[in-house]
A and B are shown apart, each in its own frame.
Chain A
Amino acid sequence: GAGVSQTPSNKVTEKGKYVELRCDPISGHTALYWYRQSLGQGPEFLIYFQGTGAADDSGLPNDRFFAVRPEGSVSTLKIQRTERGDSAVYLCASSLNSLQNTGELFFGEGSRLTVL
């Protein structure tokens, strides 16, 4: 596609439920990133993929959070046993290769998750 696409745009769920958020990066971009943006804050890094593998997952807050990118394109962020504190906008970004080389991330419009 022309840009980074994220679905759903908005998701409301109940505490304890399982949630999946999808990211479709720009075609040909090998690097994919997930960030979380809480209300009134800047985005915080969660995980970075280079191809199919997670090159850095140091930002995942706990083992309830998991992300995959099985074919090196679309990625899914999975959150188990959601908590109210997980409510945030989840941003996905991609770049042609590593950020150090390209200097630019292309962001999607995010998925707003609300946990009741």
Chain B
Amino acid sequence: AQTVTQSQPEMSVQEAETVTLSCTYDTSESDYYLFWYKQPPSRQMILVIRQEAYKQQNATENRFSVNFQKAAKSFSLKISDSQLGDAAMYFCAYLNYGGSQGNLIFGKGTKLSVKP
């Protein structure tokens, strides 16, 4: 069974600085997707960034980028120029391409605080 591990329950960053959130996963599959979701206090999960495993190039979305290391099964999220609005829970998630089309597997999350 696939698992997703986020080893940092909490992280803190100074406004305008850079922070990296860690995620590792375990799978025997070769085709899959990885995601980072943000969950503010409103509870609504918002997609931050997505990576297809077959793509070697790391995904980027404005201030958000990932470091995808397929062999190491690592998928970290880097947030540059952190803003107060980035404060939230961040969840790493895995989706097997060939499996259930709804079964996203989430980690336990990392709570990010941004200090002004």
Q: Interface with A: B11-19, B69-77, B78-86, B102-110, which one?
A: B102-110
Q: How far is the CB of B4 from chain A (nearest CB, A)?
A: 8
- The reply to whether A108 and B97 contact each other, CB–CB distance below 8 Å, is no
Q: Which residues of B contact A41 (CB under 8 A)?
A: 108-109
- The reply to whether B44 and A105 contact each other, CB–CB distance below 8 Å, is no
- The reply to whether B50 and A99 contact each other, CB–CB distance below 8 Å, is no
- The reply to whether A33 and B42 contact each other, CB–CB distance below 8 Å, is no
Q: Which residues of A contact B33 (CB under 8 A)?
A: 100, 103
Chain A residue at minimum C-beta to C-beta distance from B89: A42
Contact of A42 among B42, B100, B107 (CB under 8 A): B107
Q: Which residues of B contact A103 (CB under 8 A)?
A: 33, 50, 52
Interface footprint category on A: 20 to 34
- The reply to whether B100 and A56 contact each other, CB–CB distance below 8 Å, is yes
Interface residues of A in 32-88 (CB under 8 A from B): 33, 35, 40-45, 47-48, 50, 55-56, 58-59
- The reply to whether B109 and A89 contact each other, CB–CB distance below 8 Å, is no
- The reply to whether B91 and A43 contact each other, CB–CB distance below 8 Å, is yes
Q: Which residues of A contact B42 (CB under 8 A)?
A: 109
- The reply to whether A40 and B108 contact each other, CB–CB distance below 8 Å, is yes
Contact of B97 among A31, A100, A105 (CB under 8 A): A100
Q: A43-B45, A93-B45, A107-B46 are in contact. Are A99 and B95 (CB under 8 A)?
A: yes
- The reply to whether B107 and A91 contact each other, CB–CB distance below 8 Å, is no
Contact with A along B17-50 (1 / 0, CB 8 A): 0000000000000000100000000111111001
Contact with B along A87-106 (1 / 0, CB 8 A): 00101010000111001110
Chain B residue at minimum C-beta to C-beta distance from A97: B101
Q: Which residues of A contact B104 (CB under 8 A)?
A: 35, 43, 45, 99, 105
The docked-state distance in angstroms from the alpha carbon of A45 to that of B97 is: 16
Question: Which positions in B face A, CB cutoff 8 Å?
Answer: 4, 33, 42-47, 50, 52, 91, 93, 95, 97, 100-109
New contact pairs (6) apart from A41-B109, A45-B105, A56-B101, CB-CB < 8 Å: A42-B93, A44-B106, A55-B101, A55-B102, A100-B95, A109-B42
